[in-house]
Each structure stands twice: as C-alpha cells, then as structure tokens.
Amino acid sequence: MRRVRGRAALAVAVGVMVPAVLAGCSGSDSGDASTSGSEETGVIRVEIPDGNLRRLGEPCNGAGAFRSVHAEASFTVQDGEGVEVARGELPSGVAEKMMDVSFREGMRQPTMCVMDVDVEGLSSADGQTFVVGDGFEVTIEPSDDAGLIGEVLIS
C-alpha cells in the first residue's frame, strides 16, 4: 500500500507542478514579445546583380566581385551625416530572375541574389545609407512595396 500511495502522491505532485511550470514559461515568453514589439523593424530589399548561374528560388549569397555580400556579413545603416543608426547581419538570399529572357524551366540561368534584411529600430530610409562588405556603400531608395521601407542595389 505504501508504494501505491507514494506513486499516487508523486503523480499528483507532477500533475500540479507541470502546468505551473508551463504557465511560468509562457508568461515569461509573452513578456519578452511585448518588449521586443515596442521597437520598430523595417525591411530593406538588397539586390545583388552578380549574374551567377543558379536555379530560380534557390538560396544564395553574392558571388564573384560581390562575394563579401553574404549571409552573416555585418551591415550598418548610416544617416546623412555618417552616424550609424542601425546594424545587423545579412540573411541568406534567394535567386531571382535577372533578365527578361525565357530559359527552360528548372535550368540554371543568370540571376541576382535578393535579400530581405530586417533592420531593427529603422522606420524610415529617408537619407540613409546601407554599408556592407568590402566598401559597398549605397543610398537606400524608397520602395513602392508597402512591406519594405527601402531598396538597395549593390553595384
């Protein structure tokens, strides 16, 4: 009988503790989400017209002369006076069509690598410069796409 009571008590204790622990975990996660939600994040589309042969839609990084523009490379955003207003790391890109030519489907073709870069603390790209890699410094152009705050053509 003692073993049964001991096991029953353990089952009750675990049954009470697990929901309490899970509730505590969910409470801390939601607190983190609300604090991170207070800072704005803008998205800048970075286009790298490297002409590398890829299949459309495959993951990519800059190639050839643009190889320093790759996933995990550091970037900064500077205001008109050269003061850093944001920084981060580039994500992996996606190969997109570079020219208006029909290639056979599934074949490799000259592409550009496109990265959608989340920039924390940036709500406008007006007068801002995007700096990445071996001295690529480009003015961020306004975007017509509502999901973007700007676009950059690395050249």
Q: What is the pLDDT of residues 65-117, one digit of tens each?
A: 999 999 999 999 999 999 999 999 999 999 999 988 888 787 899 999 999 99
What is the share, in percent, of the chain residues with pLDDT greater than 70? 75
Which pLDDT belongs to residue 103? 80
Residues 59 and 34 both lie in one domain: no
Answer yes or no: do 96 and 112 share one domain: yes
Confidence of residue 1 (pLDDT cuts 50, 70, 90): very low
Q: Are residues 78 and 93 in the same domain?
A: yes
- pLDDT for position 135: 80
Mark whether 23 and 91 lie in a shared domain: no
When divided into structural domains, the chain yields a total of: 2
Same domain, 45 and 98: yes
pTM, rounded to two decimals: 0.72
The pLDDT tens digits for 32-49 are 333 344 478 899 999 999
Q: Are residues 25 and 51 in the same domain?
A: no
DSSP E strand stretches across 1-155: 41-54, 59-60, 74-78, 84-89, 93-97, 109-120, 129-132, 136-139, 150-153
pLDDT value at residue 61: 96
Q: Is the pLDDT of residue 2 over 50?
A: no
123 token code pair: 């709500």
Please give the mean pLDDT across all residues of the chain. 80
Q: CA-to-CA distance for 43 and 115, rounded, in angstroms? A: 10
Looking at the structure, tell me whether residues 49 and 27 fall in a common domain. Answer: no
Q: Are residues 26 and 70 in the same domain?
A: no
Pair (145, 85) in one structural domain: yes
Pairing mode of beta strands 150-153, 84-89? unpaired
Residue numbers of the domain that contains 25: 1-38
